[in-house]
Chains A and B, each alone.
Chain A
Amino acid sequence: MSTNKTISTFGLIAVALCVCAGSVAAQSEEEKNTAAVKRFYDEVMGKGNMKVIDELVADNFVDHYVPDPKMPGNKAGLNQTMSMFRTAFPDLQMTVEDVIAKGDKVWAYTTLRGTNKGEFMGMPATGKKVEVKGFDIVRFVNGKAVEHWGLNDDMTMMQQLGMIPMPGQEAMKK
């Protein structure tokens, strides 16, 4: 009986292993890259686990979109940018609204949510909530991010934070 049980347990594990191997084999480079982008949003941005940056981002990473122009467009700058966002918005959450992975690039369309509880871009905390859309385009080589382009709706963010001196804003809103 116990032998039978052992065998059936072993059999189950074997089946499980096979299923895993199958799904890993079936997971394309595009799916892996998409998973890496989502992991970046969840672990780095959502939890502030900066160590994950090393796992997901290559040392020769080039950032073509740096929200704060004082930060360098490289991996060190990415670290600083993420720390800055985590300080400013400790409850930061990224939601993927839509994602396309083709070839070596992942295109993600996102919503960023958070409460401004810390200093942001040199300005003191406002306690206000933000909810803004953005795009990230990330190019991967061997499973690591090597380039990033993007755009956040920083106009809306600054409106929500009440930070913008806004000449022309009335016309814009029309």
Chain B
Amino acid sequence: MKRFITALLGLALLALVLTSEGSAQEPKLVAKSKQFDATWNAHNYDGIMAFFADDATVKLMPPPPDGGVHTGKEQVGNWVKSLLPGFHVDSIHFRQEGNVVKWLFTVHSDFFAQMGANPVTGEATAVFEKEKIKSFTPVFDNETIGKIVSRGFFAAFDKGMPLDALAEQFLSPDFVFRGPGMPPMDVAAYKQFGAAFRAGFPDLVHTFEDQVADGEKVVTRVTVTGTNNGEFQGMPATGKQVKFTGIAFDRIVNGKIKERWVEFDVTGLMQQLGAIPMPQAAMNK
């Protein structure tokens, strides 16, 4: 048994040796890319900017709603500034081919924390020209994208994004929604469902409590709060405040929500609205 474990350890060590980079003959641009990340970690804005060529382009992939393309020192500078608060990067597996360096990153930043996707992970590609970075493309991995998309949907809903635009940006055309005690809904039916909640609770807010991603699956737990200031499901406004838990199980494919299975505390919601009796009252019947 001991021998077996020793063998396992040996294998693990071998794997480590195989994956570690021989720093002795490290390619020049790999060394430069490592300095680049170290400069980010030092929060040295001028230092970071010195790595970029004057006409450098940063292209975020997959593209965020604003397009994610920043060209020239001013735009790149603004992008750097937006990320610096709370920034830390861990980078591994640098490799160089010609004037291109690729590596894997894990980035912590307040910017991503606000989106609830802290840390983000993915692969960076830097194309060098005369030892300056001419283009820089971070490609976020699927789990990171999934978390951002799931949250982004609720955040955009709360901000009042028109439902057509919301569906266009976040839902795939063959989207299916399943909710508690309801038949499955397609995009059109889900928009009606969203419209019903917006009408009933104009100040509705989803507060993010917890989130996990695994492959294309993302599960998000939220607390929903709002005031029943409009007609809801055929019932007149009560003016009552409600607070209930929701859990959304999403499948994200190509950056869009393909399937969403939601549980939310319908009973709690109806009780808070006074539409069905509280448990005690039901029991006394």
Contacts and interface: CB of A to CB of B under 8 A. Distances in A.
A1 interface: no
A164 B265 CA distance: 15
Given A68-B279, A167-B235, A172-B181, A18 B4 contact: yes
B74 to A, nearest CB: 39
Contacts of A69: 279
Contact of B212 (A100, A150, A172): A100
Contacts, number: 105
Interface residues of B, number: 38
Contacts of A22: 4-5, 8
B209 to A, nearest CB: 8
B161 to A, nearest CB: 24
Interface residues of A, number: 43
A30 to B, nearest CB: 10
B14 interface: no
B270 interface: yes
A165 B270 CA distance: 11
A166 B276 contact: yes
A151 interface: yes
Interface in B262-285: 263-267, 270, 275-277, 279-280, 282-283
B95 interface: no
A135 B249 contact: yes
13 contacts: A25-B8, A70-B280, A102-B212, A102-B213, A107-B212, A121-B283, A122-B282, A137-B210, A153-B181, A154-B265, A165-B277, A167-B275, A172-B182
Interface of A: 14, 17-18, 21-22, 25, 65, 68-70, 98, 100, 102, 105, 107, 109, 121-123, 133-135, 137, 149-156, 158-159, 163-168, 170-173
